[in-house]
Structure formats: C-alpha cells, structure tokens
Amino acid sequence: MGVIYRVKCERCGSEFEHQAGVGFVYACVGCGEIADDYAPFWCPCCNKRYNPQDADFADKISEVILWD
C-alpha cells in the first residue's frame, strides 16, 4: 500500500510524481529515494525540498493517488 503525490513545483513549475510506501520500506520509482509517508523529497529538476508533514504541503500537490 502506498501513496503517489503529483506535484507542480512552486519554484521551477515542473510537474512530477513522488511515490511513498506506507508501513514498509519503499523506494520511489522516479527519484530512487527510500521514502515513507512522512519522509521529505525533492523536485527532480531544481531540488526544492518538499516535506509531507508541513502544514501547507496539501496546497502544493495537484493529486494524491492511494494504491494497494
């Protein structure tokens, strides 16, 4: 089970996806980061840091997909 974040970067405007696992170790297919639901990740174009625990993180995502 996991989550896919579709994000439009607020710094450079690129759109990318980041995948995080829930409950087990999972590596994002796009960036290779080993991530869980709370780990920070970076824009692949400009390296802007995104943290899912930030209060305004929900404003930066365009879509969230949950998968089993």
pLDDT in tens, 1-10: 678 888 899 9
Residue type, 12: C
pLDDT in tens, 6-43: 889 999 999 988 887 765 556 666 666 666 667 788 88
pTM of the model: 0.72
**Cα atoms in the Cβ-side hemisphere of radius 13 Å centred on 18:** 28
Contact 31, 19 (CB under 8 A): no
Q: How many CB atoms are located within 10 Å of the residue 26 CB?
A: 19
